[in-house]
Amino acid sequence: MIKRTKMLAGLLAGVAALTMTSPVAAQSEPDTAREAAFDASVSSEDQLVWMKDMASAPHHVGSPKGRANAEATLALFKQWGWDARIETFDVLFPTPISTTVEMITPERVVLGGQEPAVADDPTSADLSKALPPYVAYQGDGDVTGDLVYVNYGMPDDYAALARRGIDVKGKIVIARYGGGWRGLKPKLAQDHGAIGCIIYSDPKDDGYGQGDVYPEGGARPPAAVQRGSVLDMAIHPGDPLTPGRGAVPGAKRLDRAAAATILKIPALPMSYGDAQKLLAQLTGPVAPEKWRGGLPITYHIGGGGGVSVHLAVKSNWALTPVHNVIAKLPGAQMPDQWVVRGNHRDAWVFGASDPLSGHSAMLSEAKALGALWQQGWRPKRTIVYASWDGEEEGLLGSTEWAEAHADELRKKAVVYLNTDSNGRGFLYAAGSPSYQHLVNSVSAAVTDPQTGVSASKRMRGQLLAEAFEDQGGSNKRAIDAAEAGADLPISPLGSGSDYAAFVHHLGVPSLNVGFGGEDESGGVYHSAYDSFHHMTTFDDPGLKYGAALSKVVGRMVLRITDADLPVTRYGDFATAMGAYLGEVKTLAGNRRERDRKREKLMADGAFRLASDPLKPVGAPAVVQRTPFIEFAALEEAVDRLRESASAFDQALSDRGASLDPARRAKLSVQLRDIDQLLLDERGLPERPWYKNLAYAPGRFTGYGSKTLPGVREAIEERRFADANEYTERTAKVLTDYAARLDLARATVEGR
């Protein structure tokens, strides 16, 4: 589901301290012969066949092809020897009965409707069974109003509007895609009093400004529209009617009107071909420089009554089945330790890139693991593969499954490994920092299809070359690690794909990996042109990177499943937490300093003097100065965590190889659920579903991760009481984590 516009960013944590090098733990050596046998069963040709079939018709939630793909996936798993079944949930899934968007004044122009066929792309020729362009979980309505351009529609944009004296109350906003998660745009518009919201794809961001448009190139053509979900996933993902519990038959369901995650105003997405017709008519102040996109017009903000728009959406709000395919290979030694791995299968339309590029890679893994099983291999732990449905609408399939199986997962889940769209380019990885070394070692073992060096080496080369070209680079911690030849840090997880319920709600450590950065899937993201033709022409010809992804994730599964000793490194976890704490302290200090400067400048009238009287921009809003935050308890906790982690890693390195099986088993149990200690059952402020205090998707970023979110977002949002409360709470969970590491160390040391 997630669109990675800057692929490599996924790999790199946005943190500033140098990676602490963990002692080399005496972990199980990878079984290279088994991995070679695994690789032998991975085939790009297989993936082409599966992708071509599954992408041959629209296969969104509730569609016949969606059901057929579930059955086909089930059949494949069974054929390969897995214990597989379809597990179905009934979720609220709105589909449009009618969508209307038209300019009323200065002239009547009807806009919107289904995307047209594109030459060279056979599946685009028949869109009769495709969902029309719309955004799911907007609020149905029929409104007419004055149009205002709000740039990306993010909080900063509304602050800029306020300084120009422009209000969106009672108006319809038009926002461009980008700058933050789609769903925040109508939500913030609604919060600011707007009555409707249009979201369009600007050609600067993914159209001709990025490259030749489809079908000549891979970039977004003028009539392509990005569908998507606008479910308020900052509150919780999954079925809006069953928050926190599985949407099983007979589950207690909310009334739709009571569902917190459904928006109240109508919203529709739009192509840039259509958007130009509206934006070209706007008058009023010229948009600030950073707001200007790639259309051949002067971008104005509007809001002066010149352009009136009629926007109406009417949906069928039906309970619809989502079909997850769940397949298992039982563990021979530790059947109650589950290694869970998933990729969604549902698409907005044909979804060759999103999600079938990742789903096909997962099928290759399943086939290869099945082959190993046939050859007599028995995994030590249980392997659970999941082909999720309903991801696009709000991580429905994975969330309902995780909620329905919450107790079992708490007791059994070791890790959750996720993939989604995949393409040509560089390996990226995000996830729980204790798995950082595993990611690094696996990426060093898989060959990049284009260059013949390891994925790790290519990624490091790219990171350093890009930093050189940019004269710096944006991620000092990663660059320093690359220059030192140390493990590269991995990014923290936000949201945007199926790991959310696992990591944020249940505390199951998770990883999200994929290749990308040289593909052009962004140009057709969530449009009818995300097709087999586009995928195999512009994104991963021959699906070479599909096979590479299978090899990466397959190694992760094998190494975790069969590990005798922990593959995790807690020094890396402690280093990451230390870096996040450093960032949050810097944030608080910078905010305070900036608040002080703002006060001084306002007192001196500097903003007034700087403003062009003919194009006036008012001073920023008056805000309370950021106070000093009580960081001591959190600093204490992070310090303790560092010590405990370092001591544990050292003990494991010194004595791990000589541990007897009973202690190994005890250690495995002690560490399996350690990340669940990061949860606070009360959750984050205003969103109790999110319980992990180490990371969360940002309330105002949507996909982007916020680390130490209870503290960080409280500072950002000026909830200073919350900030002080959450330094304490976060300190508590990190201290518990450290205490568990001490226990585990005692096991290693034979105490």
Tell me which stretch binds a copy of itself (CB under 8 A): 205-213, 549-557, 641-649, 681-689: 205-213
Q: Please, what is the minimum distance in Å from the beta carbon of residue 728 to a copy of itself? A: 30
Q: Please, what is the minimum distance in Å from the beta carbon of residue 425 to a copy of itself? A: 8
Residues contacting 499, CB < 8 A, separation 6+: 398, 416, 418, 431, 493, 510, 511, 512
Please tell me whether residue 604 binds a copy of itself under the rule CB under 8 A. yes
How many CB atoms sit inside 10 A of residue 216's CB? Answer: 11
Do 31 and 569 meet the contact criterion of CB atoms below 8 Å apart? no
Which residue in the set 31, 102, 466, 654 belongs to the binding site for a copy of itself (CB under 8 A)? 466
Please tell me whether residue 377 binds a copy of itself under the rule CB under 8 A. no
Residues 614-673 within binding reach of a copy of itself (CB under 8 A): 614-615
Please tell me whether residue 518 binds a copy of itself under the rule CB under 8 A. yes
- For residues 476, 477, 481 and 487, what is the CA-based torsion angle, rounded to 10 degrees? -150
Total number of residues that touch a copy of itself (CB under 8 A) = 47
Please tell me whether residue 460 binds a copy of itself under the rule CB under 8 A. yes
Which residue in the set 6, 256, 594, 682 belongs to the binding site for a copy of itself (CB under 8 A)? 594
Please tell me whether residue 677 binds a copy of itself under the rule CB under 8 A. no
Residue from 543, 576, 608, 584 nearest 716 by CA: 584
Please tell me whether residue 251 binds a copy of itself under the rule CB under 8 A. no
Residue from 478, 319, 387 nearest 77 by CA: 387
Q: Please, what is the minimum distance in Å from the beta carbon of residue 231 to a copy of itself? A: 33
Nearer to a copy of itself, 119 or 465 (CB): 465
Max Cα separation, the chain? 81
What's the CA gap between 402 and 399, in Å, rounded? Answer: 5
Please tell me whether residue 609 binds a copy of itself under the rule CB under 8 A. yes
Question: What is the b/e burial string over 620-658, where b = at least 16 CB atoms within 10 angstroms of the residue's CB?
Answer: eeeeeebeebebebbeebbebbbebbbbbbbbbbeebee
Residue from 697, 692, 686, 693 nearest 730 by CA: 693
Tell me which stretch binds a copy of itself (CB under 8 A): 108-116, 457-465, 668-676, 701-709: 457-465
Please tell me whether residue 450 binds a copy of itself under the rule CB under 8 A. yes
Q: Helices 544-561 and 436-443 meet at what angle, rounded to 10?
A: 130
Give the 3-state secondary structure of residue 327.
strand
Please tell me whether residue 605 binds a copy of itself under the rule CB under 8 A. yes
Q: Please, what is the minimum distance in Å from the beta carbon of residue 507 to a copy of itself? A: 36
Sign of the C-alpha dihedral, residues 620, 621, 623, 626?
A: negative
Do 598 and 544 meet the contact criterion of CB atoms below 8 Å apart? no
Nearer to a copy of itself, 410 or 457 (CB): 457
Residues 211-250 within binding reach of a copy of itself (CB under 8 A): 211-213, 217, 219
Q: Please, what is the minimum distance in Å from the beta carbon of residue 143 to a copy of itself? A: 29
Do 595 and 625 meet the contact criterion of CB atoms below 8 Å apart? yes
Residues contacting 609, CB < 8 A, separation 6+: none
Nearer to a copy of itself, 432 or 443 (CB): 443
What's the CA gap between 699 and 682, in Å, rounded? Answer: 17
Q: Please, what is the minimum distance in Å from the beta carbon of residue 613 to a copy of itself? A: 5
| Beta bridge partner(s), residue 608 | none
Please tell me whether residue 427 binds a copy of itself under the rule CB under 8 A. no
Do 293 and 205 meet the contact criterion of CB atoms below 8 Å apart? yes
Please tell me whether residue 516 binds a copy of itself under the rule CB under 8 A. no
Which residue in the set 345, 367, 598, 706 belongs to the binding site for a copy of itself (CB under 8 A)? 598
Please tell me whether residue 6 binds a copy of itself under the rule CB under 8 A. no
Please tell me whether residue 335 binds a copy of itself under the rule CB under 8 A. no
Please tell me whether residue 480 binds a copy of itself under the rule CB under 8 A. no
Please tell me whether residue 209 binds a copy of itself under the rule CB under 8 A. yes
Q: What amino acid occupies position 657?
A: A
Nearer to a copy of itself, 134 or 208 (CB): 208
Please tell me whether residue 332 binds a copy of itself under the rule CB under 8 A. no
The phi, psi pair for 667, rounded to 5°, reads -60, -45
Tokens for 684?
């984050």
Please tell me whether residue 425 binds a copy of itself under the rule CB under 8 A. yes
Q: Which whole-number Å values give the CA distances from 573 to 207, 649, 678, 704, in the listed order?
A: 39, 11, 12, 19
Nearer to a copy of itself, 350 or 538 (CB): 538
Which residue in the set 169, 244, 318, 468 belongs to the binding site for a copy of itself (CB under 8 A)? 468
Q: Please, what is the minimum distance in Å from the beta carbon of residue 42 to a copy of itself? A: 22
Please tell me whether residue 458 binds a copy of itself under the rule CB under 8 A. yes
Contact string 281-310 vs a copy of itself (x = CB under 8 A) = -----x-----x-xxxxx------------
Q: Where do contacts with a copy of itself occur on this chain (CB under 8 A)? A: 203, 208-213, 217, 219, 286, 292, 294-298, 424-425, 450-451, 453, 457-458, 460-462, 464-466, 468, 471, 518, 594, 597-598, 601, 604-610, 612-615
